[in-house]
Amino acid sequence: MAAVTETLDTVQSVTQSGYKWGFETTIEMDFAPKGLSEDIIRLISTRKEEPEWMLEWRLKAYAAWLKMEEPHWARVDHPPIDYQDLHYYAAPKKRAGPKSLDEVDPELLKMYEKLGIPLKERAILAGVDPDTVEDRQVAVDAVFDSVSVATTFQATLRKAGVIFCPISEAIREHPDLVKQYLGTVVPTGDNFFAALNSAVFTDGSFVYIPKGVRCPMELSTYFRINARNTGQFERTLIIAEAGSHVSYLEGCTAPQRDENQLHAAVVELIAMDDAQIKYSTVQNWYPGDANGKGGIYNFVTKRGACRGARSKISWTQVETGSAITWKYPSCVLHGEDSVGEFYSVAVTNNHQQADTGTKMIHIGKGSRSTIISKGISAGHSNNTYRGLVRMLPGAANARNFTQCDSLLIGDQCGAHTVPYIESRNPTAKVEHEATTSKIADDQLFYCRQRGLSEEDAVSLIVNGFCKDVLKELPMEFAVEAQKLLAVSLEGSVG
Amino acid sequence: MLEIRGLAASINEKPILNGIDLEVPAGEVHAIMGPNGSGKSTLGYVLSGREDYAVTGGTATFNGVDLLAMEPEQRAAAGLFLAFQAPIELPGVNNANFLRTALNALRRAHGESELDAVQFLKLAKAETKRLAMPDDMLKRNVNVGFSGGEKKRNEVLQMALLRPKLAILDETDSGLDIDALKIVADGVNALRRPEFSALVITHHQRLLDYLVPNKVHVLLHGRIVRSGGPELAKELEKSGYAELIAEAA
């Protein structure tokens, strides 16, 4: 019998270590049955203690989704997704995962170390269960830390009148605000994935900045402790009243373990007169192994509405993870002289696929937009920029400037630029610049001759290439992002 | 310091170096002259480890260590510096950041502590001042939008900061006016000490007026065909390479 046990142990350890981050769950979960139906949606709504109108809203989205087809226009390729084979509701009673850092894939820990993540945080990110005994010290401390930080944080925000809470809480506590704004930027039937999200989303963030308030700190999902286990269908709604300012940070540079392969988030931003929203993302979901197996499919709808005059919405993203990224953070510029910005770095390596870009819809007079996109492809990856700039008849004197630069590392990867430009106002001005370059051998040799290792040389050149975007990130994020770029491209040369 | 024996190298299977024998003792400056296409730049690239070139024979040792077995960055750490004939542009990479990264890479390799931004800037500003370079040279992106003269001076600045044991200057004088030429020569002269050597690749005798070599070698068809003292450079300036080419033929 002993031999059998040993074999089982061996098999288990092999399958676990060979499948980074992708631990099979065998723990107790409060699962809804697989599949999507009206009943499942009712169950979600009940479990979340939602009001009746919310349930109706979800059901409407579900009805729309049923009539829609999965889009296939993006330059990404994946096996068919069986939407009836997914769990749409799972309330974890106890989180699945390693019991201490000793059980975590050393490769993953090595990456955390390279990224300079403190030990305590590494445990949380690796999914070490804080309730388990073996590593109680580390995990519990980390949780206590988060709680105390989060508490101080909440007190400061409350004083300023800012609401920052999970969206499920907002639906219960601030129903009027949610009802007034939810789905007004991304309607329930906007697209296949947005409709799916609207029907089944289980969590996300809600932010409300009152009139004239400058949010006293950068809001980060990282500090919202109950958001640590990011959901599969996240929903975020940010409302900035007239004259208010907010900077929101989403994501984390560390690759987070997640059992869910399909992610379909929706983010809606609303800026009133003179309001400014800065939304920064660092996305580093598990990209799959070197052969492209596993990995997260990230189908995201992000859109901001500049409703007020002189309002401004700025998207900054650094995308290094996911097997597939399908994401177009956009701005609808209703307000006169409103401003939309999109700064993006998208890195693909190995077999990753990214189809990302933005839409700038100019409606208001004198509205302006800037698009700076930096795509970096390495390995066998494909990286597509897809953008739309639309000048509607009312957008007199509107302006757009677009710059799309692609950098290729190696000769097995692809970079594609697909800009759409539509102008229906003769006074509107649209400029588009695009470049494609390779990291040249002579650049690498020059750096190495000065003493830099090949990897440091690539990192230096790539960071130089991305500088225009990285400088838009909040300081701390920018430093992390630089390290992340280096780690993501390790081994891409030579 | 540098010992080369029978060094042969080719690019795309085309032989360029056909058996170079050369010895540069510590503390000496040697000039390599020769007509276009004689293999001067190739020698610099092969010694610094450029991958496009295949070494097909011979040896090169640097302070007794096999140079040819090392990666380019290991050669740099060992103290070899190549001033490029056409310095490379690195868009978006700040010159000061580049220089500090390089200097710290070398310091790490030597087991020395790294310099922080403040310590580095102090050092770099002292050097730019000495080389009569404007401070903004440090703020600009590496060689991007630099004039020809600025690029060459930037190479000299890098050399001054990285303090190599062996500097190979690949036509660093080409395209420079007389003032810039003096700056380059002064940059090398300032480094001259018993443990420093330089290999100065040049077309013209002009530079050697300010940077007086211990020896001059003439390279032709990938071989050293003549060696002599500084007077050899003056002689070549007058007679040209025609006679040597005829001799070799």
- Look at residue B177 in the predicted model and tell me its pLDDT: 84
- Look at residue B243 in the predicted model and tell me its pLDDT: 79
| Chain A closest-CA separation from residue B3 CA (Å) | 20
Note whether residue A494 is domain-resident.
no
Does any CB of chain A come closer than 8 Å to the CB of residue B102? yes
Per-residue pLDDT of A221-280, as tens digits, reads 654 333 334 457 889 999 999 999 999 988 765 555 555 578 889 999 999 999 999 999
Per-residue pLDDT of A475-487, as tens digits, reads 767 777 877 787 7
The pLDDT confidence band at residue A34, using thresholds 50, 70 and 90, is confident
Per-residue pLDDT of B109-122, as tens digits, reads 999 999 998 999 99
Does any CB of chain B come closer than 8 Å to the CB of residue A466? yes
Residue boundaries of the structural domains of chain B: 2-88+163-248
What is the ipTM, given to two decimal places?
A: 0.95
Would you mind telling me the total number of residues written for chain B in this entry? 249
Q: Which of A441, A446, A464 sits opposite B84 (nearest CB)?
A: A446
Quote the pTM value: 0.78
The pLDDT confidence band at residue A313, using thresholds 50, 70 and 90, is very high
Residue type, A102: D
The average pLDDT across A158-178 equals 92
- Look at residue A2 in the predicted model and tell me its pLDDT: 40
Cβ-defined contact of B76 to A461 (cutoff 8 Å): no
- Look at residue A257 in the predicted model and tell me its pLDDT: 52
Question: Do the beta carbons of residue A435 and residue A399 sit within 8 Å?
Answer: no
The pLDDT confidence band at residue A153, using thresholds 50, 70 and 90, is confident
CB within 8 Å of B217: residues ≥ 6 apart: B22, B30, B31, B32, B33, B224, B226, B227
Does any CB of chain B come closer than 8 Å to the CB of residue A467? yes
Q: Which of B42, B51, B53, B93 to mutate to test the interface with A (most CBs of A within 10 A)?
A: B93
Output the DSSP codes for B13-62: TEEEEEEEEEEE-TT-EEEEE--TTSSHHHHHHHHHT-TTEEEEEEEEEE
Q: Please check the confidence at residue A28 and state whether its pLDDT lies above 60.
A: no
B199: tokens are 């290999």
- Mean pLDDT estimate for chain A: 79
Does any CB of chain A come closer than 8 Å to the CB of residue B48? yes
Q: Which CATH code for domain B2-88+163-248?
A: 3.40.50.300
Q: Which of A376, A443, A447 to mutate to test the interface with B (most CBs of B within 10 A)?
A: A447
Residue of B nearest to A448 (CA): B73
Cβ-defined contact of A454 to B73 (cutoff 8 Å): yes
Note whether residue A493 is domain-resident.
no
Task: With H, G, I as helix, E, B as strand and everything else as coil, classify residue A153.
Answer: helix
Question: Do the beta carbons of residue A236 and residue A267 sit within 8 Å?
Answer: yes
Cβ-defined contact of A452 to B73 (cutoff 8 Å): yes
Helix A454-465 / helix A441-449 crossing angle, nearest 10 deg: 120
Which residues of chain B neighbour A406 with C-beta distances below 8 Å?
none
Note whether residue A22 is domain-resident.
no
Does any CB of chain B come closer than 8 Å to the CB of residue A493? no
Which residues of chain A neighbour B77 with C-beta distances below 8 Å?
451
User: Residues 387 to 446 of A: which have CB under 8 A from any B CB?
Assistant: 440-443, 445-446
- Look at residue B175 in the predicted model and tell me its pLDDT: 79
Q: Give the count of domains, chain A.
A: 1
Residue of B nearest to A455 (CA): B73
Alpha-carbon distance A395 to A426, whole Å?
9
Residue of B nearest to A443 (CA): B88
Does any CB of chain A come closer than 8 Å to the CB of residue B44? no
Cβ-defined contact of B49 to A465 (cutoff 8 Å): no
Instruction: Compare B13 and A411 and report the one with higher pLDDT.
Output: B13
Residue of B nearest to A439 (CA): B90
The proportion of chain A whose per-residue pLDDT surpasses 70, expressed as a percent, equals 75
The pairing of beta strand A262-263 with beta strand A297-306: parallel
- Look at residue B131 in the predicted model and tell me its pLDDT: 82
In the block, tokens 């409060």 appear at A30
| Chain B closest-CA separation from residue A471 CA (Å) | 11
Q: Where are the beta strands (DSSP E) in B50-182?
A: 53-62, 65-66, 80-83, 166-170
Quote the domain boundaries for residue A372.
2-16+27-488
Does any CB of chain B come closer than 8 Å to the CB of residue A449? yes
Does any CB of chain B come closer than 8 Å to the CB of residue A450? yes
Among residues A356, A349, A259, the alpha carbon closest in space to that of A315 is found at A356
Cβ-defined contact of A445 to B102 (cutoff 8 Å): no
Q: Which of B45, B73, B156, B166 to mutate to test the interface with A (most CBs of A within 10 A)?
A: B73
Instruction: Compare A491 and A266 and report the one with higher pLDDT.
Output: A266
Cβ-defined contact of B109 to A468 (cutoff 8 Å): no
Per-residue pLDDT of A314-362, as tens digits, reads 999 998 878 888 899 999 999 999 999 999 999 888 888 889 999 999 9
Residue of B nearest to A454 (CA): B73
The answer for B243, left when phi > 0, alpha when psi is -120 to 50, beta otherwise, is alpha
Low-confidence ranges of chain B (pLDDT < 70): 248-249
Note whether residue A21 is domain-resident.
no
Q: Which segment of A36-40, A125-129, A193-197, A352-356 scores lowest on mean pLDDT? A: A125-129
Cβ-defined contact of A452 to B82 (cutoff 8 Å): no
Q: Which of B98, B158, B165 to mutate to test the interface with A (most CBs of A within 10 A)?
A: B98
Cβ-defined contact of A460 to B82 (cutoff 8 Å): no
| Chain B closest-CA separation from residue A63 CA (Å) | 50
